[in-house]
Amino acid sequence: MPSTRDIRRRIRSVGNTAQITKAMQMVAASKMRKAQQAALAGRPYAALMNDVLAKAAARTEVFGQPLMERRAVKRRAVILVSTDRGLCGALNSNLFREVVKFDKNTTVFITAGRKAAQFIAHTKRTLAAEFNYKDAPQFSEARAISRFAQDLFLKDEVDAVDILFTNFISTLNQQPRVVPFLPVGKIEAVQAGYGGTQTGELPVKGAVPDVFEFEPDETTVLGALLPHSLNFRVHQILLEARASEHSARMVAMKNATDNAQQLIKELTLDYNKLRQSNITNELLEIATAQMAVG
């Protein structure tokens, strides 16, 4: 049975841990608000661009862009977007469960985030490139990832590229999701919060018409638009991943703080019971000694 000194030490230890998790919770909450605002701000533009490209994909024969070329998938690349740090609950674990669904022999990975690179190395999968991105993802970081994936596809080193990331739905709900990246003919909306995410339809006024007019010509416009749209798509996904990370970390640290405080209450109760028992025993010993002397 632990002594009162042992219980006091454990109470102090748990209290120190609670202070750390509380501080981390406050920091994560501050970053979460900024990350959520950034992710939500980019969704209308990303959804509109995705809708345009989804409709344009039906006219692949007309456009004839290399990034829209469909071919038999013998080798696939996956852009895996994870966090740089842990302490965010089951966020990365849920993401990595999706990784094992890809054929290890025919899939190469492009990682964004240290946890993803560590997992790929630990499971002995093929790592094509490793990228990092900041707490506030920059467009230049997304462009570097996007261009590397495009180069693999255009050089016929891979026949398709997918993106695996954690989609931000709400503060309490983040879900891993796989979306097609290349060829562009497979494009679909990736944002939560919009209806019709599987068909690419936007439930908003002024939806994009089915008939387009291009100036100066279709090839020139899409030749410039496609790479930019792919770059922005990766940037939006990085924003979604960061919003998911900070939300999950805030919730995880709040749960850890609450559990620590509950444990402190239970330890304090045990301490008081043990202390009261010791005092009672001491009184009984004094009373017994007095009776023996008398």
The active-site residue out of 49, 88, 120, 189 is 88
Angle at 257 between CA 253 and CA 258, to 5 degrees: 120
Q: Nearest Cα to 125, choosing from 101, 142, 145, 141?
A: 101
Token reading at 203: 């439930």
Tokens 């965010």 sit at which residue?
A: 88
CB 236 within 8 A of CB 168: no
* Long-range pairs for 4-11: beta carbons < 8 A, 24 or more residues apart: 4/271, 4/274, 4/275, 4/278, 7/267, 7/270, 7/271, 7/274, 8/271, 10/267, 11/264, 11/267, 11/268, 11/271
| Catalytic residue status for 88 | yes
- Distance from C-alpha of 176 to C-alpha of 189, rounded to nearest angstrom: 15
- Distance from C-alpha of 161 to C-alpha of 153, rounded to nearest angstrom: 7
Q: Specify which residues 56 forms β-bridges with.
A: none
For residue 281, the number of C-alpha atoms closer than 13 Å in the C-beta half-sphere is: 6
Catalytic residues: 88
